[in-house]
Structure 1
């Protein structure tokens, strides 16, 4: 794929090649129905989360940050490992639920009785987005993407086809669902690029083929002994030139991105529950457990020892 990109000129053409080799994997779906004053907790996951708001108005809540308003027709991508929640209507919540996706098919979750007013109806799924032969580039997503469709009726029609396949799975249903969602996600991402949405900057940076060998190495093994020098050597650049080019393309230093990918990888390992904190710290490239704990807590707002464990209901 990147051999093809190297023969092209212009960012737009390079992005065409990126989109052309994009692949998607989707995990179980839930149809989540919130009462007008309902709150839906999304548990942490090693995959990115996709939401499509079928109807209603509300807000996406991420940690202690400012809520993001959402409404019918919005398609939302949330980075892996980030705990988030969706609240309906006026923000005075009285009913709560946890979204636990089912197997292929559609699990239905409700929060409270509908006593008038407008709640939220949201399709929720886990997803992975990659490039053929190039790993999960969705890990580069650092901030949520919320796309307010200019073609609500078209997108609603596509989502209705997804719902129909989920309601009555047949041979080929998963392939159909992947194709429909990939269309919607590519459309969402390219519109974000066109309006210079910071959430899609990572995708534009993928078109910089000079940096790909370094980026691929970090994505494949974030816990390896990476340094600015070793990454610069991979792409045949001087340390200073590589650092400047990486910052220009990604908007952050290479070692900052390495740190973020290490912590995200650590979050996945902790969610799997197969290794203790000290071992996870070692696997993701930290020689000091205390340093790892400090950085992990600064990123996710909770210590590694408590990460992924159930939190009390509101």
Structure 2
């Protein structure tokens, strides 16, 4: 009698053998993209003249640009210049300077301080032109990760780019995001974040479909074993995960799995489990009226007191107080201003637990290190 093989793993093996490299089968890609959390921090429209350049300083945020009109020559620190026609979208790593130009060798250079101004309905503009402009680029500052609290793309090494000019949906989505930024009403932030997530799905899907997906996709999308482990954690954060059980899901040895996971995700498997549990708990605290003790138990914490302690470490207050405060926040909360984002050159690192105390407490430890996410230039 032949051994039974999991259909997803059979498909995964076939993809690997046919392509000569490890790529994900469609079901795993679907699970990862579904788990992705996207939040817009700020928006601005960059308007650049044909013979001008706009220099944007490095900030501690992921940046997204979408070319609305004209052809942009984009230079990102450490990368070759890219020529971007309308419909191009680029995800730019943290802490990288960038220059958006109307030509390969522009004569006039503008910086953010002199170019920034507020337009109608509070939308921010960055203008780099004398007289007229031919280029408009939507610039956004993002938080992007697997779950709302784990920024798995913090360590993106190179820009990820795609020409999506054939996608009417993507253009319509960005135009709608601009309108939602201009005319903020209840639900504007939620709608804008949802549309941005859809555009990120298109960007990553485009990268995975390329002849060399490893040049246009985050590393987690290229490692089937790790992806299975990550999706297992995200789909069932309360399960009694261990390095051994997750290594088995990944079809790897315990030591090889632990090393590969930390290199790719920037944190240990158990630290990731703890972060996933807190992220799920936060969602339940905000979306339900369930007792805090019930929420703690449902996401895998041994006691309410232990959960509250970990929650307070992460969010600065007890779950009950957090629920009360967040419920009172206006639904029309503004997007952050571009000036405040540009001024934020440093960000306090998250605290890393020393994993001291009981085994259960160590299992909930939180941490953050550099993530290796891959990408293309």
| TM-score normalized by the length of structure 2 | 0.54
CA distance in structure 2 between the partners assigned to 1:27 and 1:37 by the alignment: 30
1:141, distance to aligned residue in structure 2 (A): 2.4
Q: Residues 135-157 of structure 1, C-alpha deviation per residue, up to 9 Å, x if partnerless?
A: 11222422111110152433222
Bigger relative contact order, structure 1 or 2, given CA contacts below 8 A and separation 6+? 2
Structure 2 CA distance for partners of 1:154 and 1:124, relative to 1, 3 Å? same
Q: Which position in structure 1 is the counterpart of 2:161? A: 146
1:208 and 2:225 aligned = yes
Q: Residues 192-223 of structure 1, C-alpha deviation per residue, up to 9 Å, x if partnerless?
A: 1110341304141364337857xx9xxxxxxx
Paired residue secondary structure (1:164) = helix
1:194 and 2:268 aligned = no
Q: Which stretches in structure 2 are left out of the alignment for 5+ residues?
A: 1-5, 12-24, 234-242, 268-343, 353-377
Q: Residues 45-88 of structure 1, C-alpha deviation per residue, up to 9 Å, x if partnerless?
A: 22210101101112111225320111211111001122222111
CA distance in structure 2 between the partners assigned to 1:75 and 1:86 by the alignment: 13
Q: Which position in structure 2 is the counterpart of 1:271? A: 345
Which residues in structure 2 correspond to 1:159-238 (within 5 Å)? 159-195=174-210, 196-197=212-213, 198-205=215-222, 207-209=224-226, 212=229, 235=247, 238=253
Q: Which position in structure 1 is the counterpart of 2:129? A: 112
Q: Which position in structure 2 is the counterpart of 1:60? A: 74
Paired residue secondary structure (1:60) = strand
Query: Which of the pair is proportionally richer in strand?
Result: 1
Paired residue secondary structure (2:216) = helix
CA distance in structure 1 between the partners assigned to 2:246 and 2:172 by the alignment: 46
C-alpha contact 2:92 2:158 (8 A) present in aligned 1: yes
Decide which structure has the larger Cα Rg and report it.
2
| TM-score normalized by the length of structure 1 | 0.64
Matched pairs, number: 242
- Show structure 1 runs of 4+ deviating over 3 A: 6-10, 99-105, 209-213, 231-243, 254-259
Q: Which position in structure 2 is the counterpart of 1:95? A: 109
C-alpha contact 1:39 1:96 (8 A) present in aligned 2: yes
Q: Residues 251-310 of structure 1, C-alpha deviation per residue, up to 9 Å, x if partnerless?
A: xxx659859xxxxxxxxxx933779xxxx9xx9xxxxxxxxxxxxxxxxxxxxxxxxxxx
Q: Which stretches in structure 1 are left out of the alignment for 5+ residues?
A: 1-5, 217-230, 260-269, 284-314
